[in-house]
Amino acid sequence: MTEVIEAIKRSAFRIQEAIAYDDTGYAENENASGDVQLKLDIKSDYIIQEELAKVKSVKAVASEEKETVDMLNEGGKYLIGYDPLDGSSLIDTNLSVGSIFGIYEDDFSGPNIKAAVYIVYGPRVEMVIATDTVELYRLDKNSEFKFIQTVHLHEKGKLNASGGTQAKWPSYHKAMIDTLFAEGYRLRYSGGMVPDLHQILVKGGGLFSYPGTLDKPEGKLRMVFEVFPFAFVYEKAGGKAVDGHRRLLELSPKDHHSTTPCFFGSNYEINKVLDVYSKIV
């Protein structure tokens, strides 16, 4: 596991340099999810696969940018599901973006995720590693990730990050989000999953939601690359992560690009989600 984390650190360092200085334009391809790829998406994917290929314990990798699972070392133990540059459509606006990694054994399912790591490329580069605990690191002047603190969610927070097109939200979802605002929650939503979930985590609590919508009943966010890693982080930080009814980490994807509605937060907000969604017939 240590070698995997070291490879992720090396990737993060190289990707942050690419974000800072490379061309931010589009490539001519689409990725496996049908999104137009930026040159930076392709480069970040390449960097990560190159670094992970050096690690003997990595058996195979699945990238959000690729259709297939790539076998790296037949005798390896870990399967790595990663989104090399999540939120890359924000690159031209100079908002924060991120890389997300789920470290699995046996298959890419919720119950089999063993650790999760994400990097936020913002004004500073930060990395969160979740194993039994959740630890925050920051890149320093010497290009090393320095430990900052262990992260814990409070019982209840103040922030509300609500994703998806509002006009397509089911009415019960809109009513629930309105109730939180009526209770005093403040809107914090950039459109980048990594900085939006990082903000809630570092500030101690709140709700991030990306529901099933009328046009996308299974939501937008991908289980293997985005949802399971953050579900693992939030649970280990003392919060909860559900699809409206069940723990996200109980789910198994049909294929490695499957999506799901998802809600991440501290206990108070997620209990509210479960209560509202339990009444839907």
191 makes contact with ligand AFP (CB under 6 A): yes
Segment interacting with ligand AFP, rule: CB under 6 A, options 7-15, 84-92, 230-238, 243-251: 84-92
Return the residue matching tokens 């320093």.
140
CA dist 224 and 227 (Å) reads: 6
Residue 138 one-letter amino acid: R
| Torsion angle of C-alpha atoms 72, 77, 82, 84, degrees rounded to 10 | -50
CB of 11 to ligand AFP, least distance (A): 17
Nearer Cβ to ligand AFP, position 46 or 53? 46
Nearer Cβ to ligand AFP, position 100 or 127? 100
19 makes contact with ligand AFP (CB under 6 A): no
258 makes contact with ligand AFP (CB under 6 A): no
Nearer Cβ to ligand AFP, position 84 or 110? 84
193 makes contact with ligand AFP (CB under 6 A): yes
86 makes contact with ligand AFP (CB under 6 A): yes
Main-chain phi, psi angles of 198, to 5 degrees: -65, -40
Q: What does each C-alpha distance from 279 to 12, 172, 213 come to in angstroms? A: 43, 9, 17
164 makes contact with ligand AFP (CB under 6 A): yes
Nearer Cβ to ligand AFP, position 35 or 218? 35
Nearer Cβ to ligand AFP, position 78 or 243? 243
112 makes contact with ligand AFP (CB under 6 A): no
CB of 245 to ligand AFP, least distance (A): 21
What would the two tokens of residue 154 be? 């409070």
Return the residue matching tokens 């009943």.
217
Q: Do residues 60 and 48 touch, judged by C-beta distance below 8 A?
A: no
Give the interface size with ligand AFP as a residue count (CB under 6 A): 12
Looking at 76, 81, 87, 219, which residue binds ligand AFP (CB under 6 A)? Answer: 87
Nearer Cβ to ligand AFP, position 157 or 192? 192
3 makes contact with ligand AFP (CB under 6 A): no
Reduced to 3 states, what is the DSSP secondary structure of residue 143? Answer: coil
89 makes contact with ligand AFP (CB under 6 A): yes
Main-chain phi, psi angles of 162, to 5 degrees: -115, 115
Element (H, E) at 118: strand 113-121
CA dist 188 and 191 (Å) reads: 9
For helices 39-52 and 2-21, angle between their N-to-C axes, nearest 10 degrees? 160
> Which string of x and - marks every residue 33-72 that binds ligand AFP (by CB under 6 A)?
--x-------------------------------------
CB of 74 to ligand AFP, least distance (A): 32
Q: Do residues 200 and 159 touch, judged by C-beta distance below 8 A?
A: yes
What would the two tokens of residue 262 be? 């998802």
272 makes contact with ligand AFP (CB under 6 A): no
- Residue 14 CB partners (closer than 8 Å, separation 6+): 47, 51
Contact positions vs ligand AFP (CB under 6 A) = 35, 86-89, 163-164, 191-193, 220-221
